Structure 1
């Protein structure tokens, strides 16, 4: 499975909005994608999530920092770098997370589950919501 994981890592690290459809070859037809905001099946629904990133973000890119491969499973840790189109325009942002991937016998993704803390990694970066989230965090820690 190492060659399949190498191809997956390369595809995500070089992903750009104009070439989202190239990811289709990496996913099994009824693949499931789940993250803190989505739980979908099938390539059209998965592609819609990646396309939405292009609508909301600029200069987005993944940097895979670690990988663990065990049989047909893989766990990737990553940094997702981006800027918002509407909020804090131009300010670079970074979300840290991980992806659990389960591959079929052909090396295609059947399960793609992303783990990241939406409250800490995203909400705190938004102008109004972020102020409230940081205040709540300080109150909870005092």
Structure 2
């Protein structure tokens, strides 16, 4: 796990918050969903390619549904670093099998921007990953259409 080394990195105490966040996510299981309040603020803002909402209760529902819908879930932090006193970035790889899509493993590479509040809890968690290439293109009919569109655009 390498660290990003931006010129505006915050003091070590700031990096400790990000280290705690990253360690929690690398070890997280379905049983840990109830502990999200140790890491996240009550009014957390969360966004990814499928969701955009505020609130710890909704975050718990999203993670509970993820664990319910996946087999062999794993997440590894590939790189992390603070970009400002209250903001960090985490580059990660998530893997597992989506129950609704069969047994074939699903691997997603993404980046999270994490903003902390004054108490050190996550107040904003923004996930960025290629939903078209890493998810939608794997769906039977939609995937075929998206792959054709991608090839057509790439030819120009």
Q: Output aligned runs, 1:1-142, within 5 Å.
A: 1-69=14-82, 70-87=84-101, 89-142=102-155
Q: Is the 8 A contact 1:73 1:100 kept in 2?
A: yes
RMSD of the alignment, in Å?
A: 1.2
Gap runs ≥5 in structure 2:
1-13
Q: Does the Cα contact within 8 Å between 2:111 and 2:127 map onto a contact in 1? A: yes
Structure 1 runs of 4+ aligned residues shifted over 6 Å read: none
Distance 1:72 1:141 in 2: 39
Matched residue SS, 2:100: coil
Q: TM-score, normalised by structure 2?
A: 0.85
TM-score by length of 1: 0.92
